[in-house]
Structure 1
């Protein structure tokens, strides 16, 4: 779930409720995620890479990350980060920040990144552009 979050920028609340039914074929032959975000109550269709989908396991029905709980995004996540040799204080939400920063550093338009993050205002996303 963590790696999928890094590759998609989804909020923890959306990862927890993400179902296989939310992942559909897109017109270009790839895949997309169709969901209504919990925080902003925004309906979105978001591209998802084949690489990101590999972190979902084998397609089935219902919740994708069965057994994944909000509590796992606190202490267990921090232990995982420490075990990886990362000394910086990180939270699960930092995966979302990394996603945005990487896209902007690759030249993706801030407006597009804003839509992918389902921000209500592009001004929120502009913070990542200022970092880059």
Structure 2
């Protein structure tokens, strides 16, 4: 009969403990990983047991839909930007669906103002791509450049030789959101989500949206089909149907 400190018993106790911590206390995946590492070190250093093969469970990653702003909310947000530099940044994020990290790392030569294109260098996954430069975004960038001499980076930060940080851009969004009276809380990345969703609702093929966003495959882009309400608005609720005007098929 296996003792209390046997490998199987130890594995089961740790598994039950982790399940309880995960389900009852709602711990995050990073905290769970730290907990697993601590348990392994304890077992190896104190109990002198090898626990590499223990069946430790990981909490399921929550599948949440991205936050999306309406076009009206986006306009209200942009209207509150007083600084031409800030307006140019957020106009690029929304109009081209760029990641904020891609925007702050832009160099002046990455914008092709004549052809209306943006060259995104070393995007996520280290891949380069071209995306559209909207007329409104180009006007915002040109207005910013009239009074700025950016040098190496299109959007330089406060420290010499450094570009603006993504955290600084988020602070800009937070202030503009409050001034615009937008109650929902969102990150600057919501503008990228909104770009994709608004294109989808306008009838743009998801494959083109995938290319513009720089997604490796369409599965990542497909999440916006769950956020888009274009098709949802076409469905009439039974409560709104006139009597005898149609009914759902009966299931057998």
| TM-score range normalised by the length of the shorter chain | 0.7 to 0.9
The answer as to whether partners of 1:114 and 1:125 remain within 8 angstroms in 2 is yes
1:20 aligns with 2:108: yes
Quote the offset at 1:58 in angstroms. Answer: 2.6
| Counterpart pick for 2:116 among 9, 12, 31 | 31
| Counterpart pick for 1:58 among 125, 128, 145 | 145
Q: 2:199 matched to which residue of 1?
A: 103
Distance 1:24 1:16 in 2: 17
Distance 2:98 2:122 in 1: 9
Structure with the greater alpha carbon radius of gyration: 2
User: Which shows bigger deviation, 68-77 or 93-102?
Assistant: 68-77
TM-score (norm 2): 0.47
Aligned length: 129
Quote the offset at 1:64 in angstroms. Answer: 2.0
The structure with the greater share of residues assigned to strand is 1
Quote the offset at 1:123 in angstroms. Answer: 0.7
| Counterpart pick for 2:127 among 22, 39, 42 | 42
RCO comparison, higher one (Cα < 8 Å, 6+): 1
User: Which shows bigger deviation, 120-129 or 31-40?
Assistant: 31-40
Instruction: For 1:87-98, list aligned pairs within 5 A.
Output: 87-98=183-194
The answer as to whether partners of 1:40 and 1:118 remain within 8 angstroms in 2 is no
Distance 2:173 2:93 in 1: 13
Quote the offset at 1:130 in angstroms. Answer: 2.4
Q: 1:9 matched to which residue of 2?
A: 97
- In structure 1, stretches of 5+ residues that fail to align are none
TM-score (norm 1): 0.86
The answer as to whether partners of 1:73 and 1:91 remain within 8 angstroms in 2 is no
Please provide the CA RMSD for this pair: 1.8
